[in-house]
Structure 1
Amino acid sequence: MAGPAMRSMRGHRAVPHTADVRLEAWAPTRDECVAEAVLGLVESFADVSRTRPERVVTVSVPEGPAEDMLLAVLDEVIYRLDVHGDVPIDVEAVDVNGAGGEDEDEDAADGGGLDLRLAVAGTEAVEAVGAAPKAVSLHGLHFGTDTVRWSCSVTVDV
């Protein structure tokens, strides 16, 4: 039987984990996978389905290994939540080199930075459905590609 990852080329889900939140995301490109990871993170603590964004925030993430970039993005989302009360309602990750992270060679795709565009609303505009994230654990962090798509797995401390 095909799991959710095989039924859809793009998505995210929470998987059972003791005490913390374990997220998986997948998509055809690195940048889409980053966006799915952000949406999965948000879904773990907030229902944004009836919320309209109040503004767009753009964050530049420097080039580097894919796992470092994913960690930087998720850390930025947690920081913005904690310090500014920003909850991403929608997200777009755009490769600053214009490639979109489409190269299937993981080492070649690691090189370009990305701009993260977050359509955000304040915490008061969303419904809390779980504990707010505190940090992303380095233990079990994975972000890479196979011949079909990019995927990542992260554990989030709550």
Structure 2
Amino acid sequence: MPHTADVRIEAWAPDRAGCLTEAVTAMVESFADLAGARLHAEREFRPPPAADEDLLVAVLDEVIYRMETADELPLVTEITDDAGGLRVRWGVTGTGEVELTGAVPKAVSLHELRFGGDDRGWCGAVTLDV
């Protein structure tokens, strides 16, 4: 990114839930080495119904929030669409168990946010403020 305090991630998958999952993985792997980390707990998050781009922001914001307030990072992410909306399940580890290898995101930017699908699948791109 032109601004040194930004990281741009992109994700692709056949469906919306898969693309959201890939976005979470890309974000975490942009700053942390998860090799050797152990699973400590499972967490669930249900964002309120929203437009697709807003759901991407909500899920990534939740990862940042949990990292800052509970010292947790997702090792495993499972996202499904069900009758009640989006259901996010994480297998988490403690932040002390991972090696930080890059700048830790502080927020998700709405600038040049993209997230959507067509007959070829879903893709998304988001800028993270670090």
Query: What does residue 18 of structure 1 align with?
Result: 3
Q: 1:17 to 1:152 in 2, by over 3 A?
A: farther
Q: Would you tell me which structure has more strand in proportion to its own residues?
A: 2
Judge conservation of contact 1:24–1:153 (CA < 8 Å) in 2: yes
- Equivalent-residue separation in structure 2 for 1:38 and 1:122 (angstroms): 16
1:96 Cα deviation from its structure 2 partner: 2.2
- Equivalent-residue separation in structure 2 for 1:148 and 1:92 (angstroms): 22
Q: 1:49 to 1:127 in 2, by over 3 A?
A: same
Judge conservation of contact 1:64–1:113 (CA < 8 Å) in 2: no
- Percent identity, aligned pairs only? 49
Query: What does residue 79 of structure 1 align with?
Result: 65
For normalisation by structure 2, the TM-score amounts to 0.94
Which of 30, 50, 54 lines up with 2:36 in the alignment?
50
Which of 110, 117, 120 lines up with 1:145 in the alignment?
117
Could you say what the CA RMSD is over the residues aligned between the two structures, in angstroms? Answer: 1.2
For normalisation by structure 1, the TM-score amounts to 0.78
1:131 Cα deviation from its structure 2 partner: 1.4
Figure out how many residues of one structure are paired with residues of the other and give that number.
129
Q: 1:118 to 1:147 in 2, by over 3 A?
A: same
**Regions of 4+ moved over 4 Å:** none
Structure 2: state its 5+ residue gaps. Answer: none
1:52 Cα deviation from its structure 2 partner: 1.9
SS of equivalent to 1:53: coil
